[in-house]
Amino acid sequence: MNDRFLRACRREPVDRTPLWIMRQAGRYLPEYRELRAKADFLTVCRTPELAAEVTLQPLRRFQLDASIMFADIMTPLDAFDIAMTFNPGPKVAQPIRTRADVDRLHAKPAEEAVPYVAETLRILRRELDGRTPLIGFCGAPFTIAAYLVQGEGKEGFNALKKMMFEAPSTLEALLEKLTLAMADYVRLQAKAGAQAIQIFDSWVGVVSPEDWDRYVLEPTKALVTAVRASGVPVIYFANGATTILDRVAAVGADVYGIDWRIPLDEARARLGGAPAVQGNLDPAVLLGPVAEIERRAADVVRRGGGKGHIFNLGHGIFPETPIESVEALVRTVRGA
Ligand code: CP3
């Protein structure tokens, strides 16, 4: 059984730095594009056999130390019956803008709303058979709220910011509902076989420190607590939050995902030294020559310091990444 990744989450000694890649299943793989030519994105997410197949695709090519179930951060919103499309990012049919919009949201239990996610995880545990641990995930309440209020991914998320300043209690009410729904969703995942949970806070970099304290800390901490109560380690990835890492450390995660905007050793020091870290090679390095990939990846391994470090990119892999770049990366991290 390969348990390097789980050992690193717990800061136990490992024989070498474990490695996985954010968005490791996806459009940079020709076999993913082939499958997607036959089934749209939501169909893949909602069909356990297809979601499991796509999850396993990168494992067949690369010697990675963890698998991450295929779904989207917007998947659990099926519990609220929120209509959306993907092109390629999520677009919410009717953005949440008013108190009445928030009050209308009633979550079904995750077990009823997204049974296909539990089934995907069960298939994967069986198929993986200990080859790698299986990671489940969800979006952080703030990042999910950002999509729901804005309606789509948009620089600055001004509609969300407007709600923040104009109607703070409306945003707080929305965050509270999302926190409960995500907690229910991660419990379902842990029960179905997820061995760790990553919380993606992809857009939290848009907040000021004052707004982090008011809108992000408590909901995130509550979600982290819920994951840990279900018995699995939790990775919190706060993208773009390197300037407030001291605040980030207060959510109480086992592992902190670090983006590429800070040297990893510095990030660890700013987090207070104790927790494990995951990261943080700039995903754009994989668009460059092999020699540069090798040099940069080795530097991340060195700064990670071995114990309590999980190698990853500082954000998701780009669709235009050459396969040979990923091969060079995996070779370097395994051999470094
Ligand atoms: O391999 C994996 O990491 C598992 C799959 C996964 C997807 N989305 C599949 C996907 C994961 C973990 C996510 C999380 C996700 N979704 C995040 C957090 C991670 C991050 O990058 O910050 C976010 C912000 C989303 C929202 C989202 N979904 C965006 C912005 C997009 C568009 C383009 C993109 O790939 O970045 C999606 C669609 C999506 N989710 C695709 C995939 C493979 C592409 C859809 C397609 O096949 O056309």
Q: What is the pLDDT of residues 249-295, one digit of tens each?
A: 999 999 999 999 999 999 999 999 879 999 999 999 999 999 999 99
Whether 27 lines ligand 1, by a CB cut-off of 6 Å, is yes
Tell me what pLDDT residue 1 has: 85
Token pair, residue 294, equals 């090798």
Could you say which of 3, 11, 72, 303 is catalytic?
72
* Per-residue pLDDT tens over the stretch 111-138: 999 999 999 999 999 999 999 999 999 9
Catalytic option among 16, 27, 228, 261 = 27
pLDDT recorded at residue 229: 97
Helix and strand counts by DSSP (H, E) for the chain: 16, 9
Q: Is 5 in the pocket of ligand 1 (CB under 6 A)?
A: no
Which one from 11, 16, 23, 331 is the annotated catalytic residue?
23
pLDDT at 267: 97
Residue 45 has pLDDT above 70, yes or no: yes
pTM surpassing 0.85? yes
For ligand 1, atom 43, name the residue with the nearest CA: 26
- Kindly state if the Cβ of 237 falls inside 6 Å of ligand 1: no
Active site residue 23: yes
**What pLDDT, in 10s, does the model give residues 47-93?**
999 999 999 999 999 999 999 999 999 999 999 999 999 999 999 99
Number of folded domains in the chain?
Answer: 1
Residue 23 CA to ligand 1 centre (angstroms): 7
Q: Exposed (0-12), middle (13-18) or buried (19+): which is 154, by Cβ within 10 Å?
A: middle
Q: Is 131 marked active-site? A: no
Tokens coding 74? 């917007």
Does 216 sit in the ligand 1 pocket, CB within 6 Å?
A: no
Q: Which of 68, 72, 321, 326 to mutate to test the pocket of ligand 1 (most atoms within 8 A of CB)?
A: 72
Atom of ligand 1 nearest to the CA of 21: 3
Q: Are 279 and 300 in contact (CB under 8 A)?
A: yes
Region 194-204: mean pLDDT is 98
Query: What are the pLDDT digits (tens) for 220-253?
Result: 999 999 999 999 999 999 999 999 999 999 999 9
From atom 20 of ligand 1, which residue's Cα is the shortest distance away?
202
CATH number at residue 256: 3.20.20.210
| Residue range 273-286, pLDDT digits in tens | 879 999 999 999 99
Burial class (CB in 10 A: 0-12, 13-18, 19+), 76: buried
Query: Is 211 annotated in the active site?
Result: no
Closest CA to 70 of 96, 91, 89, 50: 50
10 belongs to the catalytic site:
no
Active-site residue, selected from the candidate residues 147, 215, 236, 256: 147
**Residue 22, ligand 1, Cβ within 6 A:** yes
Q: How many residues does the structure list for the chain?
A: 336
What percent of the chain is predicted at pLDDT more than 90?
A: 99
Residues 196-207 have a mean pLDDT of 97
pLDDT at 336 over 70: no
CA 213/CA 219 separation, integer angstroms: 10
Ligand 1 contact via 70 beta carbon (within 6 Å): yes
- Residue 122 annotated in active site: no
Predicted confidence (pLDDT) per residue in 160-194, tens digit: 999 999 999 999 999 999 999 999 999 999 999 99
The domain of 191 spans 4-335
